[in-house]
Structure 1
Amino acid sequence: MSSAATPWGKDIATEIIGGVPFRMYKDRPRRVEGLLEFAGRWGARPHIIQGERVLTFEELHQGAVAKARRLADLGIRRGDRIFILGWNSPEWVLNFWACLLAGAVPVLANAWWSEVEVGNGLASLQPAMTLADERCAARVPAHARQGPWGIDMTQRQAGDAAADAQGELSEEETALIIFTSGTSGQPKAVVLSHRALLARLQMTLHITRKLPHQIDETLRDVTLITGPLFHVGGMQTLMRAVVVGDTLVLTQGRYDPAEVLATIERNKVKRWNAVPTMVTRLLDHPDVSRRDLSSLKSISIGGAPVHAELMQRIRTQLPSVNPRIPTGYGLTENGGQATAAAGSEAIEELGSAGKPLPCVEIRFLPHPDLPDGEILLRSPTQMSGFFGLEESPIDEDGWLHTGDLGKLDDKGNLWITGRSKDMIIRGGENIAPAAIERALLNIPGVTEAVVFGVPHRDLGEEVMAVVVTDAELAPQQLQDQLRGQIASFAVPSRWRLQREPLPTNHTGKVDKAAISAQVRAELQSES
């Protein structure tokens, strides 16, 4: 049964998969490519806008079917892996859906990768073909087989593009391979099944009352995408938009607040998915008061803590925006999202990651030498494993060991208190940087903060804070305000205060690893 015709229910039951009990929707779609059938519901409505380019839902379906046939003609068969290497564009979207329609597995390569990293990814995944845009094609090794990036909309379309696939199509088959960020060590290829992707989609549609039978077809959202589609969050946004009929507006190239402001005004953007740093830099831009941003009603912020001052700035500088900004917690290995906080929860429990999604189970693994337990997750959204690796953070009972530390409050909200590998050990005391960062961000005048350990001759490590402030603050003032909020031994003893924004990585998040490495190198040269 197709995804468009399948009942999307709310009832949940426990199902055993590979000997592991999972909470699952009784009525659910089974194949990701089936979502494309919803394009017929939206017809000539714009789906992708980038600059002056517009791709309608009708053209999305037509182009994806045409490209799927082209891939079949080039010898692509069910289960073949296809590297997609490119920046956000209508062609990227079309190629993604075409791979699925052809029965292939899209492998979402990171467009920021160097030539060496691209080569490593190809060597480990051994794809049947690589589809690369003009900017990325030069980084593909000469020996790798490249297919056409563009789409010929006149390609023959008779019949079902995936008609060559034989046998029953299982929801447990691999739908997508996507890479972890690789901030510590080499990126790993996360294998996600059709079940994993669709379970997360159904949960988010359920809690937002956007299941297919609940949608008002006369309404549509225009959503701005400033993050890369090749990350798991971008993927879910893409899938959701096809089901609910949203228009997605893509920016071009590296994040530029001036371009974002102009794009919101020109396209009457209603929603924006961003990380806190992006929002802060938009609010800092001199054009923010000169642009008509009244269409913007919602900002969905994730990837880093949201501090109180940022919330207040949004209320003041973007008065049309609902300040009830949803936040959540998840990781690629879990399909991207495990919890969500929205509505009044996002205000009342500022700093929490919200409550578990309907099919998600959470428990904590105690560590004798750590203040809080490690967060374990179990849900149908989790990965099948890392491609080509036997190692897995998922145990035999189906629990994903996240490496993050946390706790639940009495209302069932999850609080992230640190990362086991990021712990600072000062004189035998374990200190969670996340708790200090959260306390710093609640101090007026502090707009960004990162905390990490630096070597100390007697204590082993001491606490270092790099803080961005827009006020006249001194380390002593910050220390005074932190005392009573956090343990005395956790108050930073080394400080760096600055006005310049912190550097970010390719996802737009503050690059804590780079900041820590630079500071450590400077301290070592001074000693």
Structure 2
Amino acid sequence: MPSAATTWGKEIATEIVGGIPFRMYTDRPRRVERLLDFAGRWGTRPHIIQGERVTTFEELRHGAFAKARQLADLGVNRGDRIFILGWNSPEWILNFWACLLVGAVPVLANAWWSEVEVGNGVAALQPAMTLADDRCAARVPAGVRRGPWGLDRTWWQNGDVIADEGAHGEEETALIIFTSGTSGQPKAVMLSHRALLARLQMTLHITRKLPHQVDETARDVTLITGPLFHVGGMQTLLRAVVVGDTLVLSEGRYDPAEVLASIERNKVKRWNAVPTMVTRLLDHPDVSRRDLSSLKSISIGGAPVHAELMQRIRTQLPSVSPRIPTGYGLTENGGQATAAAGSEDIEELGSTGRPLPCVEIRFLPHPGLPDGEILLRSPTQMSGFFGLDESPIDEEGWLHTGDLGRLDDKGNLWITGRCKDMIIRGGENIAPAAIERALLNIPGVTETVVFGVPHRDLGEEVMAVVVTDIDLTPQQLQDQLRGQIASFAVPSRWRIQREPLATNDTGKVDKKAISAQVRVELQNEG
């Protein structure tokens, strides 16, 4: 067992950082790259499975050090930003660890981005190097320095510990990850080593999986169907190295048939998914034909979880009941602020659970809204947005989430609405402002509003009301949007009209009234 295992405690005290009091573990790890020490604890145990490919913990560790040496020899220095643009794969994971080992800052780009969005991200972050897989390489702008995505086997012999292991603080940026803002431009969230490790330690604490508590003879097999470039996927990756989990990566687009087969073949015990994925799996005809008895836990996040879905899981996947973890968080607060493990009483399902041990919650009243805005303070929160002075974190350290909520008498947090303009489609955050700007660049479009409308499978789908002065069809508009915005952000519902949009007393487009009217009409149609 690595000596680092003794530095993970349960005692919490208040520490002042930058004049702000944070609840933090007294005994805690300080650097994310040191988590790779735990790979030696698990040796030849399978760590990553994708199709027929199997990578052990030992192979990951040797490969990560070898790739770090390769990056150093290519001129990558401590503090350099390295774009990682690709889909889930063993190479993606190896590149992530290699960047940390060489002292660089991995920038987790969104593999769903269009060519325009990739170009904007590169221009904003100015990375020293970009690592892109074959599927994403064509979207990297010309002139950007590219590094190798994979690792030539001849480098493995150079996989010794690299130089520059001097003392570096936990405040240093560990990674940069993107989130959609209401302004429409993806914002680069800087997360420190302390932020990532505080969330990990809280999760391990409440699940009794701190390093000294782990049963070395036990092994969880976790299926990952969401992208690793999301903050939830990142935390799953860090947790797996510490506790010795095997990660099963899906191949290509989400396919419920493939997932069902993978659960059966690999004896998957845990699955991290958004509600849409679970719904589609339960709707698949093979769900009753496969042996899914190994599956014990489904971690659901990224969108509201309805009681109907929870009941379906209990009925169709009885081995999972009654523990169906869920929670609440934002990328800006490190991805998770609350956690719940389900309830024996189906009527209580729907809450996001109680705050994690180091998380503080308060509510800011807003005139005209029934519940207050959720404010969070935690050592997991971001250091800021890269390149921007603006921040949703106030001078007292409270992160203004834009979400509305309340605590019940048991301390569970309930999300009751959003005071910010955002669509959540199948777990992906979509900023309407970005779609509206793209639509207004199309000849013939004079006005537009974009908002979310309810969808049984996705939670919400994107609706656009467009005013034109020429004849345009939804298909023509969709065709012109593709390549300008992410594919999942292209509206699937349309209303095209010649009359101007309704306005309020100040002369501004009354999006709230328009969206309310459309929702009523859709409800009457359905």
Q: How does 1:289-438 map onto structure 2 within 5 Å?
A: 289-344=288-343, 347=346, 349-422=348-421
CA distance in 2, matches of 1:80, 1:147: 13
Aligned residues: 449
Note closer, same or farther for the CA distance 1:363–1:58 as it changes in structure 2 (3 Å cut). Answer: same
Q: CA contact under 8 A between 2:363 and 2:372: conserved in structure 1?
A: yes
Note closer, same or farther for the CA distance 1:526–1:364 as it changes in structure 2 (3 Å cut). Answer: closer
Q: CA contact under 8 A between 2:79 and 2:103: conserved in structure 1?
A: yes
Q: CA contact under 8 A between 1:47 and 1:57: conserved in structure 2?
A: yes
What amino acid is aligned across from residue 404 of structure 2 in structure 1? L
1:36 matched residue in structure 2: 36
Q: Which moved more, 1:265-274 or 1:309-318?
A: 309-318
Please report how far the alpha carbon of residue 237 of structure 1 lies from its aligned counterpart in structure 2 after TM superposition.
0.2
1:288 matched residue in structure 2: 287
Question: Alignment partner of 2:7: what SS?
Answer: coil
TM-score, scaled to structure 2? 0.81
CA distance in 2, matches of 1:284, 1:343: 22
What amino acid is aligned across from residue 81 of structure 1 in structure 2? R
Please report how far the alpha carbon of residue 511 of structure 1 lies from its aligned counterpart in structure 2 after TM superposition.
7.0
Q: CA contact under 8 A between 1:265 and 1:292: conserved in structure 2?
A: yes
- RMSD over aligned Cα atoms: 2.7
CA distance in 2, matches of 1:117, 1:208: 38
Please report how far the alpha carbon of residue 313 of structure 1 lies from its aligned counterpart in structure 2 after TM superposition.
1.7
CA distance in 1, matches of 2:406, 2:147: 48
Unaligned runs of 5+ in 2: 425-431, 433-448, 458-486, 503-526
CA distance in 1, matches of 2:328, 2:345: 13
Is 1:210 the counterpart of 2:209? The answer is yes
What amino acid is aligned across from residue 222 of structure 2 in structure 1? T
Please report how far the alpha carbon of residue 151 of structure 1 lies from its aligned counterpart in structure 2 after TM superposition.
1.2
Answer 1 or 2: higher relative contact order, Cα 8 Å, separation at least 6.
2
Question: Alignment partner of 1:179: what SS?
Answer: strand
Q: CA contact under 8 A between 2:326 and 2:342: conserved in structure 1?
A: no
CA distance in 2, matches of 1:374, 1:512: 26
What amino acid is aligned across from residue 231 of structure 1 in structure 2? H
Residues 392-446 of structure 1: CA deviation (Å, up to 9, x unaligned): 00011100000111111111111111111359xxxxxxxxx99xxxxxxxxxxxx
Residues 483-515 of structure 1: CA deviation (Å, up to 9, x unaligned): xxxxxxxxxxxxxxxxxxxxxxxxxxx979946
What amino acid is aligned across from residue 88 of structure 1 in structure 2? N
CA distance in 1, matches of 2:202, 2:355: 10
CA distance in 2, matches of 1:175, 1:464: 34
Please report how far the alpha carbon of residue 12 of structure 1 lies from its aligned counterpart in structure 2 after TM superposition.
0.3
Q: CA contact under 8 A between 1:31 and 1:171: conserved in structure 2?
A: yes
1:20 matched residue in structure 2: 20
Q: How does 1:36-435 map onto structure 2 within 5 Å?
A: 36-155=36-155, 156-157=157-158, 159-161=160-162, 163-164=163-164, 167-181=166-180, 185-344=184-343, 347=346, 349-422=348-421
CA distance in 2, matches of 1:401, 1:101: 33
CA distance in 2, matches of 1:208, 1:513: 39
CA distance in 1, matches of 2:404, 2:13: 29
Question: Alignment partner of 2:186: what SS?
Answer: coil
CA distance in 2, matches of 1:466, 1:289: 28
Q: Which moved more, 1:179-188 or 1:198-207?
A: 179-188
Residues 218-268 of structure 1: CA deviation (Å, up to 9, x unaligned): 001001000000000000000000000000000011111111111111111
2:439 matched residue in structure 1: none
CA distance in 2, matches of 1:183, 1:369: 21
Unaligned runs of 5+ in 1: 424-432, 435-451, 453-460, 470-509
Structure 1 vs Structure 2: percent identity of aligned residues?
A: 82
Q: CA contact under 8 A between 2:342 and 2:349: conserved in structure 1?
A: no
CA distance in 2, matches of 1:201, 1:96: 17
Q: Which moved more, 1:223-232 or 1:286-295?
A: 286-295
CA distance in 1, matches of 2:87, 2:182: 20
CA distance in 2, matches of 1:103, 1:237: 22
